[in-house]
Each structure stands twice: as C-alpha cells, then as structure tokens.
Amino acid sequence: MELKSENACFGGTQGVYTHKSRATGTDMTFGLFLPPEARDGMVPVLWYLSGLTCTHENAMTKAGAQAWAAEQGLALVFPDTSPRGPGVADDEAFDLGQGAGFYVNATEDPWARHYRMWDYVTEDLPELLFDTFPLDPERQAITGHSMGGHGALTIAMTLPERFRSVSAFAPICHPTASDWGQKQLTAYLGDDQEAWDAHDAAFLMRERGFDGPMLIDTGTKDQFIDLLMPETLMQEVGQRRQQAVMRLQPGYDHSYFFVASFMEEHVAFHAEALYA
C-alpha cells in the first residue's frame, strides 16, 4: 500500500492510498478519513459507495461527511467505483466500464477479467483496512449514492451480519426492471436473471430484508427518478414490514448538493446504530 496524500481534517486525518488489488488485478485507490479518536483505539466504520462517473475523490471532497463523522467519532471509507488503467476494458458510455463497476463480479467478456467490484468492496479492501488501521470490524455501516446506493443496499442485505445499519441517497432500487439497469446487468452478468436478482434491492427486500435500521432519501426533482424507481423498494419495504425510513425530499435533484444537504442526518443515523 502506498500513501498518496494525507491532510489534517476536522481534528482527524484524511488520507488517500493506492494498493494492488487481488480482486481486480489492478492498482486501486481509496480514501480513508480517521477521526481524532483513532489515535487512541479502534473506531467504527462507515463505508461510502459512490455513483456513476465518480472516483474515490467525489464524495471525499463534495459530500461534507468528514465534519459529521469527526463529531460522531466515525471513520469513513471512500472506495473507487471501478478498476482503472491500461488494459482495463472501457466503454464510451458514461454508465458502463471505467467509473461504472456497479458493485458486481462481472462474468462476461471483456469485463470479467477486472470488474470484480463486489469482491473488492466486500473482501479485498476490508481485509487490507482492518489489518492496517484502527478500525473495528464489529461496528460497520454502509451508505452510498445512486449506483453506490444500489451497492450499499444489495451488499447490506446480502451480508446483514456485517453491517449494523444501511442508508442510501437516490439509490437505483430495481435495476432488473429498468432499461438502465438491464443494460449494465446484461453487459456484466449476461442473460442469467437469477444472477441479476442478487443485485436488485427491491428483489432482495422481498426475499431477505435487512436485520437493522434503514434510511433512504431521494429528491422529487431527481432527473433520474424514473430509472431509480424508489416506489418499487417502498412497496417491498411495506410488504415486508421492514424497519425503514424512506423519504422523498421536495425540490432536490441527483447532485452532491442533495447528498451534502442530508449527510449530517445519515451520519447521525449510522452513529446511533454503531454506538448502540
């Protein structure tokens, strides 16, 4: 692992690191914010998964999360959204290829060789982090925006024993039923509908739910709301009687202005679960 940068931030430290990933077979970059409490012992961890076209840097610099994480004594992890570099498959479209890993393990060419973002986020990067930094593996939570909200919800429902809470900002809720989601799932996973279902938050809510609190915000002016389909997840939450707060925020769009506006509430929501 190589330290790329380190800055004092709200009494703690914001670092950026690169490492060789077993999962993707490439160099990967991530950001890690450590609150002041990390100098004295292990701290809880909040994972933040970013959306389409983003790197580790977008949320790290735009979401305003460090101020609230420092107040609550939480570490923040900002992974990248895909493998990158020479020899890594890409596409001219913004919603496929580099910057658009969709947090799945691709099985189809040309993506299968490097696009194993599920393993990267759930196995490879956690192993490195918990071996290297004072992070408490027993106190983890996860959140994300858009494609990252999709990743946060599907990972949390698949690995409920790992995460005490989950939240999302404008998540892609039902990709198997939207033209947008079907494009990526077909490209990465082929025509196997069962493989698709494992990465669909509405389907996973129907089949599994989540044994913990859930918070989801979506803006009513979100320009992608017809592709996000929040109503499908709301319906499954109601059918399952899952403990969840799902809010449509009037006037907000899909931007980081929206994310930053509600970040304090999301961090406080996770802190309550992590310190319970």
Per-residue pLDDT tens over the stretch 27-45 = 999 999 999 999 999 999 9
Residue 222 annotated to the active site: yes
Quick check: is 254 catalytic? yes
Classify domain 2-274 by CATH number: 3.40.50.1820
- Is-contact 103 121, C-beta < 8 A? yes
Write the CA distances from 190 to 88, 108, 180, integer angstroms: 19, 6, 15
Residues 181-203, mean pLDDT to the nearest whole number: 95
H helical segments located in 145-215: 147-158, 179-189, 193-197, 201-207
The pLDDT of residue 201 is 98
Supply the pLDDT for residue 179. Answer: 81
- Cα–Cα distance between 41 and 56 in angstroms, integer? 25
| Distance from C-alpha of 1 to C-alpha of 61, rounded to nearest angstrom | 22
Give how far Cα 258 sits from Cα of 40, 69, 72, 252, Å. Answer: 34, 18, 21, 6
| Predicted pLDDT at 187 | 97
Length of the chain as a residue count: 276
Q: Where are the domains of the chain?
A: 2-274
What pLDDT, on a 0 to 100 scale, did the predictor assign at position 114?
98
Checking if the pLDDT of 77 tops 90, the result is yes
Mind listing the pLDDT tens digit for each residue in 97-152?
999 999 999 999 999 999 999 999 999 999 999 999 999 999 999 999 999 999 99
pLDDT level of residue 180 (50, 70, 90 thresholds): confident
Catalytic residue among 145, 174, 254, 270: 254
Catalytic residue of the set 146, 165, 167, 178: 146
- Would residue 146 show up in a list of annotated catalytic residues for this protein? yes
Across the chain, mean pLDDT equals: 97
The active-site residue out of 21, 124, 222, 266 is: 222
pLDDT for 247 equals: 98
